[in-house]
Structure formats: C-alpha cells, structure tokens
Structure 1
Amino acid sequence: MVRTRGNLSRRGSNDAPESSRQGGARKRPTASARKGNEVSDVPQEDEQGIDNDGEGFPGGPYDTSLLTRYEDHVARMIWDGQDRVVKVVSHIKKVKKLGRPHPSIVAPFVLASGLSPLCDILYEYIDLGLVLGFVERWHPETNTFHLPIGEMTITLDDVWSLLHLPISGNFCSTKNLEYEDSVEILTTLLGVDRAMACMELNQSRGAQVRLSWLRELYDNCCENELWEFAARAYLLHLVGCTIFANKSATYAWIYKRFPTLGRKQVRDTYVETEPRALRYVIGRVISAIADVRVQLDGLTYDGMNWNPYVAHRAARQLVTHGMFSGFLRVGTLVHRHLPERVLRQFGFMQPIPQCYETESLLYSVW
C-alpha cells in the first residue's frame, strides 16, 4: 500500500495560490528533467508554480485537460521534490508468523473461500523503486499506466492467472459501521464475548481490529476446536495482509509484462498448475527509481510481453468474465475496469480509447 505523509491539504484548498489550484497552470517536469529526482523528506522553500508550456504530464498525454485529478497525485509530490515521504507497506512477515492454516479448517473453509492461493504468494521484500516508477505513471481518471507504448493496466485476467483468485461473483456491499454494529459482528461471527469485543474496538479506535488480536483469537479458537471461528479469524488476517496491503499481483504483473524490469529470480521448482505469481522470488536488492524511470522512458513495443500466459492457459483459460468492462466495487471503493483501453494485453489490436468525461456522473450512480 502506498502512503504519503505531509501537508496534502494545501493543494486544492480555498486559501492556496491560484496556480496550485489550476492543474493546467503549473508546469510538469519532463521525463528527462525528473530522472535524477528521488523521494525527498527535506522541506522545499520554493513551491511556487510556473506557467505551463503545454508539455503535459511526464509519461502521460500532453492534453492536460483530460486528466483533471492528476494535480494531487502522489507522483506530483515526487516530481516537485516536496516534503513527502512515500512508504510501501508489506505484512508478509505477519502472514508467516500466523503460519499455515490448521488442517481442520483447510478443506471446509479456506479452500471453499477461494482464497487459499494467498497462503503461498508471499513476497517478503519490497522493490520500492520499481513500485514508485509505476506509481508515477498511474492515471486515476482511466485506471491505467500511461507508458511510451500506450496504456496498460492490471486486468481481471491478470488476477485470474497470477493469483488464481476467483474473478466472478456478487459485489461486496458494505457500509460504515457504528460501534454497536461492530460489536455485534465480532460477537456473532468471531465468537468473542461483548467485553472482549468492546476492549478490542476501543484499542483499535474504530470499527476495525488489529492483526495481532486476530492471531491470538485464531490460536485460542484452534486450542478449543472452534473451527468455524478459527477459519474466519484466519481468513480475515490473510486478506488484511495480502489483498489490502501486499503488492504480489503488482510485482508479478510487472515481471510478466516487462521482462527487463525488476531484480527478480525465477523459481526452478515452479509448475504451471500453480499461480503464476509463484514463479518469481524477490531478493533484498531493490531497483533505483532513477533507473526504473530510464527503463520506462525507453520502452518499445517489441520489448513487451503482450501474451505472457500462453503456457499457462491449460491451467487458467481466458474466461469471458476477464473482459468485463465497467466498475468494480468493494464497499465504498469504486474503480474502473476498462479492458477496451488495453486490448493489446489480450492479443487484439488497440484502437484509440474513448474519452471518459462523465466520470462524476458515473460515480454518482454508484
């Protein structure tokens, strides 16, 4: 998970300078001008904007009128050398500390949930430079990476092949929980008494629980053979450490699509019946963001792996659900999934993508 720390409220606020509120009124550094910039935690005294000369965003379209939300992107903080600290969080060591699921909950609960592949896809080390290099190229208006060879993104088919997770089913409908609702959920679904539930919610200061608390609850449920409660505690811990925090899918996607990027190693014992993400091992040595920028600037069509799952289709065929075009929702989070913008990733010819200028209207429908 990429996080920033700093005064993010300055941009776009009512009392900010006019040049900082207008995306088109600031000059974006060119790709060559920012190659030597690193993430800085040293405050910059001069943050005034200058007139835009039409160069647009580095690594993106030159028409800035189509990218109205990019002014506050984390990449702007990096390019401008402002007082920002970018952090990528991994909880894989906590997954390993939890260990493999108890045999009594594997078949009836973990396998049935469809989340069992997450037990093995554990990238312990983080290649921060590689992640930040792609973060700079991400445009939230289209949910795609804008690269010299065009747009690319992580699709449902990538998730299906890399992680072997199910990609079809009902939307996860959630709502903001009140205190009493949270207490009821913990007592009903995890089997704790009200006093323990209240203590944990007070400790966590909200409708959430700590990973350490889930581990203790899981161990206690296993000791008392409360298998259903143990399975829920295990799965909550697993999802919290992987889907919502780990970047295994991102790393594996980069390794498959961009053969020359990253400092990964290929596992000799990998077999095609396993998730494709298990094919790689990440070492301690990470990429320098300056090097990643140079590599991304020099991408060519022939240097890409546009069809990386040919050998894997026997285990995971291309399914129609992978071509779904629309919005994916998890609770209050809504994101576009637009495979028609990256048809080359499916082996098809790519026409000029249509412009999505009705974003606010579409989001209001959800």
Structure 2
Amino acid sequence: MAFVCHLSIDMSLLRLQDKHIMKAIWEETERVFRPRRHAIWIAKHVDKFNQIVRNILETTGFSHILKVSNMEINHLLVTALVKRWRIKTYTFHLPLGKTTITLEDVALQLRLPIEGHAVTGISGGPLTFFCQQLLGDVPPENNIRGNKIKFSWLNNTFRQLPHEATNEVIQQYARTYMLMIIGSIIMPDTFASMVHLMYLPLLVDLQNVSNYSWASAVLSCLYRALNHGTRVDQDNIRRCMILLQCWE
C-alpha cells in the first residue's frame, strides 16, 4: 500500500512551516538524519574497570548509562520523530495526539538524578589547566581545539588503570570516564570527536556529582537539538539520541 502524506492545504496554519523539515517531505526532498556520537573505549570494556572506579560511577549515577551506551541508533526512527516535533509546543504531533519526553522519562531510562543544582559549566577562558589538576595529564596541542579535547587522546591515555594506582589516580580516571560519558553519550556536541571541558569543574568533588540535576541538562539539550533538527537544511542531529530511541 502506498504511503499517503496528509498535510494541511493552508500552510499558514503551521508555524514556521517554511523552515520546518516537513516542507522537505512536501517537496519530496526529505533526508535521513545521521545522529553524531563518538565511540568510547570504556563503553565496551566496563568489565575491565577497577572495582573502586565502578563504585564511584555507581555513586554518581553514571554507571547505568554505560549499560545502554552500545545501543545501535535507528536513523529512520530518529528521523521520523524529528519530523513530528513542533517547536511551539515542544511536543511530538503524532496521529493519536501530542506527547513529549519528560524528566521522569530521563530518570527511568538513564537513571540520572532529577533534583539538584543546575548543570552550568564554565565556557569562557582557557580550561585546559583543569586537565592537569583533575585528570592528572594535559593533552598535546594537536589534541586541543579551543576548550575541547579529542576523545582519541582520552581513549588512549586512560585506557588501563595502573595496578598500584593511588586513590588520587583512581579519582582522575573516574572523572575522565564521566567526562567521556557526558561528551559521547548523554550530551554529545556537533564535534562528535571532541568533548568540551566546561563540564570538568563539575566533577571536582566526586561525592557532589550526584547533587546536580543531570536529567534536566540532558532533557533541555535534547529539546534544543530537536528544535535545531527540524530546520529544513539540517541532515544531522546531536545530543542524547539513546534517550529519544528508548523513550519511543
């Protein structure tokens, strides 16, 4: 049976329709989205983690994310949902009605904390000095772009925890893994091969990490990504596509 696309004859009824991806369907020029995500070594080798590192990730609320991080993203499903997203209402307009992703969904799917301080990282000024202080190492200049560092350097440098690692080194590795989870899984940026250092200061006190509302940050970033993805000239989308797919 042929697919019939029912669109309004009076396009003025749809806000920003001339810039919405649905216009591409109307003109038969639609594209499939390619969600951006960089593969990180830790996602496939959780079993090799030091037990203390595992405990830290469990305490901070980041451990469960690694269990779903290897999920294959369905590009067609993501594309179909973006087409149904409306900026004015922040909802998906589906045949059965309007619906959206909520904080409760984030907590259930990713098990990230809802309540707590706002996730507001430092974006201005040089942040690489935090690397030596909090990670114990500084990437070479060819692995830095502004305040972003390459995942490849993190993957290679922090692949294996030393056997006789001190408590300080263990905490540095735990911070690195959390930074990689943030930049690759829950809030990946346009530069899929790099992670922004603005999140690193939030990981200074590992016992305080769970006191941030990471769920709110992930959801707000996803909303913004969906808004951006509805633009007719876009063919890629960022942020937490795992959440979007699990929610569906």
Bucket of the pairwise TM-score, normalised by the shorter protein: 0.5 to 0.7
Matched residue, 2:153: 213
1:239 shift after superposition? 2.3
Amino acid in the other structure paired with 1:213: W
Matched residue, 1:301: none
1:218 shift after superposition? 1.8
Amino acid in the other structure paired with 2:153: W
Matched residue, 1:236: 179
Amino acid in the other structure paired with 1:103: Q
Q: 8 Å contact 1:217–1:230 — kept in the other structure?
A: no
Matched residue, 1:104: 52
Amino acid in the other structure paired with 1:104: I
- Once residues 229 and 81 of structure 1 are traced to their aligned partners in structure 2, the CA distance between those partners, rounded to angstroms, is 51
- Once residues 58 and 128 of structure 2 are traced to their aligned partners in structure 1, the CA distance between those partners, rounded to angstroms, is 28
- Once residues 152 and 75 of structure 1 are traced to their aligned partners in structure 2, the CA distance between those partners, rounded to angstroms, is 18
Is 1:186 aligned to 2:131, yes or no? Answer: yes
- Once residues 161 and 143 of structure 1 are traced to their aligned partners in structure 2, the CA distance between those partners, rounded to angstroms, is 20
Is 1:161 aligned to 2:117, yes or no? Answer: no
- Once residues 71 and 99 of structure 1 are traced to their aligned partners in structure 2, the CA distance between those partners, rounded to angstroms, is 46
Q: 8 Å contact 1:139–1:146 — kept in the other structure?
A: yes
TM-score by length of 1: 0.45
Q: Which has the higher contact order (CA 8 A, sep 6+)?
A: 2
Q: 8 Å contact 2:65–2:110 — kept in the other structure?
A: yes
Matched residue, 1:44: none
Q: 8 Å contact 1:160–1:167 — kept in the other structure?
A: yes
Instruction: Give per-residue Cα distances to partners, 1:266-286, cap 9 Å, x unaligned.
Output: xxxxxxxxxxxxxxxxxxxxx
> What does 1:1-366 correspond to in 2, within 5 Å?
32-33=4-5, 53-55=9-11, 63-64=13-14, 67-68=15-16, 70-77=17-24, 79-82=26-29, 86-91=33-38, 94-100=41-47, 101-107=49-55, 109-178=56-125, 181-192=126-137, 196-197=138-139, 199-200=140-141, 202-219=142-159, 221-222=161-162, 225=165, 226-245=169-188, 328=216
- Once residues 329 and 224 of structure 1 are traced to their aligned partners in structure 2, the CA distance between those partners, rounded to angstroms, is 36
1:89 shift after superposition? 3.2
Matched residue, 1:358: none
- Once residues 125 and 333 of structure 1 are traced to their aligned partners in structure 2, the CA distance between those partners, rounded to angstroms, is 21
Matched residue, 1:316: none
1:80 shift after superposition? 3.2
- Once residues 221 and 115 of structure 1 are traced to their aligned partners in structure 2, the CA distance between those partners, rounded to angstroms, is 18
Q: Name the structure with the higher helix share.
A: 2
Identity value in percent: 27
State which structure, 1 or 2, has the greater radius of gyration over its C-alpha atoms. Answer: 1
Amino acid in the other structure paired with 1:80: E
Amino acid in the other structure paired with 1:215: N
Q: 8 Å contact 2:32–2:79 — kept in the other structure?
A: no
1:140 shift after superposition? 2.1
Aligned length, in residue pairs = 191
TM-score by length of 2: 0.63
Question: 1:135 is paired with a residue of what secondary structure?
Answer: helix
Question: 1:213 is paired with a residue of what secondary structure?
Answer: helix
1:127 shift after superposition? 1.7
Query: Which 5+ residue runs of structure 1 have no aligned equivalent?
Result: 1-30, 36-51, 57-62, 247-327, 337-366
Query: Which 5+ residue runs of structure 2 have no aligned equivalent?
Result: 190-215, 225-248
Amino acid in the other structure paired with 2:4: S
1:129 shift after superposition? 1.4
Question: 2:133 is paired with a residue of what secondary structure?
Answer: helix
Question: 1:182 is paired with a residue of what secondary structure?
Answer: coil
CA RMSD of the aligned region, Å?
3.4
Amino acid in the other structure paired with 1:54: D
Question: 2:128 is paired with a residue of what secondary structure?
Answer: helix
- Once residues 25 and 145 of structure 2 are traced to their aligned partners in structure 1, the CA distance between those partners, rounded to angstroms, is 32
1:152 shift after superposition? 0.5
Instruction: Give per-residue Cα distances to partners, 1:5-38, cap 9 Å, x unaligned.
Output: xxxxxxxxxxxxxxxxxxxxxxxxxx82489xxx
1:54 shift after superposition? 0.9
Instruction: Give per-residue Cα distances to partners, 1:152-191, cap 9 Å, x unaligned.
Output: 011111122222221111111124233xx22222122111
Amino acid in the other structure paired with 1:170: H
